Amino acid sequence: MNRNRTKRHGGTDAGFTLIEVLLVVAILGILATIAVVGVGGHMDKANRTATRGNITSIASAVEIYRINFNRMPTSLQDLTQESEDIAAPLDSIPVDAWGNAFVFKRVGKFKYQIISGGPDGSIGGDDDLTN
């Protein structure tokens, strides 16, 4: 009987030891961490780029509104309102890449700011994006 076991296994122990399996799992974990950190940096850049694009779109809509109605909008909601003969500059107000609403703030007769709170979502931090 002992001879059959030796023949079946080829005389050596087959399979992986627990140490080998744990080593492979640890290496895969390290590689996954490196990949996530690398992608995470690119995601933040992509989110900022998308948000800046939305700010540019809203700024263009504000200018169209100002030209069409000969006055500045009082809020972003004004940009979705149409009159009898003038179409609304925007169908809907976009949100930033983090899902937060933009803030429209007038700072002069024809000057304004469109502000995104950035990744933390709160206005007034170092990560805010504006036009």
Residue 5 pLDDT exceeds 80:
no
| Beta bridge partners of residue 95, listed in sequence order | 101
Domains of the chain: 17-130 (3.30.700.10)
Q: Which helix (H) or strand (E) holds 130?
A: strand 129-130
Non-local (6+) Cβ contacts of 95 within 8 A are 54, 101, 102
Non-local (6+) Cβ contacts of 73 within 8 A are 62, 65, 66, 79, 104
The Cα–Cα gap between 96 and 44 comes to 12
The Cα–Cα gap between 120 and 22 comes to 37
Q: Which helix (H) or strand (E) holds 113?
A: strand 112-116
CA distances from 1 to 15, 77, 83 (A): 21, 85, 94
Query: 36-91 pLDDT, tens per residue?
Result: 766 666 788 888 898 999 999 999 999 989 988 888 999 999 999 888 888 888 88
Query: 90-111 pLDDT, tens per residue?
Result: 888 889 988 999 999 988 888 9
The reported pTM is 0.67
pLDDT at 3: 52
